[in-house]
């Protein structure tokens, strides 16, 4: 069965791809899709339930919830991709060096991975954020530098197998330098699981950012984020359920979509499934 056929037969992966595509459209075209400005106040419509004028209702300041949800998708997209990208960059670099060189280099890098894994990631992020400004850029950097260990292990395992392959041995025999071998020959053959890890990492970064924003350590008001929208809705949950339900559902569906897409890609790219 070809790759395209396996993609078309994987309905869960296609469902995840649709969710991710919708998120992209909302984030990129937010100014065109949102009916209001995200910070526009209307004190005459405070805590108004969903209606034709405000599809998802209004919050305690009369701001349109749908508009803020759409702009919140931009935050999720930015944090997810940049955080996961930074984690992949660090993990690929360290994993490739560890797997290719082996010996004491491998031992040092793997002990660093073990040390990082000893700390609960979310609490480590909380500790770092407590000493920094709670800006979106600091959040992305902190999430990225605390999430690279899994990618590092994946790439290391791939390089341990690849460095014994004929084309790698031949490149070494021809006098090609280690950096060139890693970049030109190793990485192109080790990127399939990394791409899957990146997609799954986006979901994890979005969930982490939402948790930080919910605790007041993430994106700060008045900038819209699904996490801080949940916090704002917590105080009025008995009279304005829509302030908590819609952001919560957005986080759930988005993370589920990325996970379905990542798991589907893992099935499609797994060489053990190509002849099935």
Scanning the structure block, which residue is given the tokens 């990325």?
258
Q: What is the pLDDT of residues 1-23, one digit of tens each?
A: 566 777 777 788 899 999 999 99
Burial of 14 (0-12, 13-18, 19+ CB in 10 A): middle
47: left (phi over 0), alpha (psi -120 to 50) or beta: left
Query: What's the confidence (pLDDT) of residue 276?
Result: 46
| Alpha-helical runs (H) found in 10-148 | 11-28, 30-33, 65-101, 103-118, 121-129, 136-145
Q: What is the pLDDT of residues 65-124, one digit of tens each?
A: 999 999 999 888 888 899 999 999 999 999 999 999 988 999 999 999 999 888 877 887
Fold of 3-37+53-273: MetI-like fold (1.10.3720)
Domain boundaries, the chain: 3-37+53-273
Measured from the Cβ of residue 241, the count of other Cβ atoms closer than 10 Å reads 13
Compute the distance between CA of residue 147 and CA of residue 142 in angstroms, rounded to an integer.
9
- Contact, 205 vs 258, CB < 8 A? no
Pick from 135, 138, 142: which is nearest to 119 by CA? 142
Per-residue pLDDT, averaged over 191-207, amounts to 89
Pick from 91, 72, 8, 86: which is nearest to 209 by CA? 72
Measured from the Cβ of residue 24, the count of other Cβ atoms closer than 10 Å reads 12
With 60 as the cut, is the pLDDT of residue 271 above it? Answer: no
Scanning the structure block, which residue is given the tokens 């002990």?
111
Query: What's the confidence (pLDDT) of residue 176?
Result: 82
Name every residue whose Cβ is closer than 8 Å to that of residue 87 and which is 6 or more positions away in sequence.
143, 144, 145, 147, 148, 151, 201, 205
Compute the distance between CA of residue 164 and CA of residue 243 in angstroms, rounded to an integer.
56
Q: What is the pLDDT of residues 112-155, one digit of tens each?
A: 999 988 887 788 788 777 777 777 888 888 889 988 999 999 99
* 170 to 132, 163, 173, 185: CA distances (angstroms): 49, 10, 5, 11
Q: What is the distance in angstroms between the CA of the first residue and the CA of the last residue of the chain?
A: 6
Scanning the structure block, which residue is given the tokens 């997609």?
199
Compute the distance between CA of residue 97 and CA of residue 109 in angstroms, rounded to an integer.
9
- Contact, 216 vs 139, CB < 8 A? no
Compute the distance between CA of residue 106 and CA of residue 153 in angstroms, rounded to an integer.
11
Measured from the Cβ of residue 32, the count of other Cβ atoms closer than 10 Å reads 8
89 versus 263: the higher-pLDDT residue is 89
* pTM metric for this prediction: 0.86
- Contact, 23 vs 76, CB < 8 A? yes
């Amino acid at each position: 069965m070809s790759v395209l056929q396996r993609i078309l037969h994987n309905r869960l992966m296609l469902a995840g791809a649709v969710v991710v595509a919708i998120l992209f459209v909302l984030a990129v075209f937010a100014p065109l899709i949102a009916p209001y400005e995200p910070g526009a106040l209307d004190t005459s419509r405070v805590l108004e339930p969903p209606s034709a004028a405000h599809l998802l209702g209004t919050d305690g300041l009369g701001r349109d919830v749908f508009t803020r949800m759409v702009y919140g998708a931009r935050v999720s997209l930015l944090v997810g991709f940049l955080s996961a990208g930074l984690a992949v960059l660090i993990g690929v670099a360290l994993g490739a060096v560890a797997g290719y060189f082996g010996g004491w280099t491998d031992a040092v890098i793997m002990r660093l991975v073990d040390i990082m894994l000893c700390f609960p990631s979310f609490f480590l992020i909380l500790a770092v954020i407590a000493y920094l400004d709670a800006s979106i850029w600091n959040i992305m950097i902190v999430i990225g530098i605390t999430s690279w260990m899994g990618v590092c292990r994946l790439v290391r395992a791939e390089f341990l197998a690849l460095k014994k392959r004929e084309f790698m041995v031949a490149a070494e025999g021809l006098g090609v330098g280690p950096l060139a071998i890693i970049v030109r020959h190793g990485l192109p053959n080790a990127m399939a699981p990394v791409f899957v890890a990146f997609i799954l990492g986006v979901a994890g970064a979005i969930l982490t950012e939402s948790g930080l924003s919910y605790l007041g350590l993430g994106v700060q008001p008045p900038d819209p984020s699904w996490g801080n929208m949940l916090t704002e809705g917590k105080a009025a949950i008995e009279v304005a359920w829509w302030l908590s339900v819609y952001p919560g559902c957005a986080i759930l569906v988005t993370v589920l979509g990325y996970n379905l897409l990542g798991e589907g890609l893992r099935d499609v790219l797994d060489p053990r499934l190509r002849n099935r």
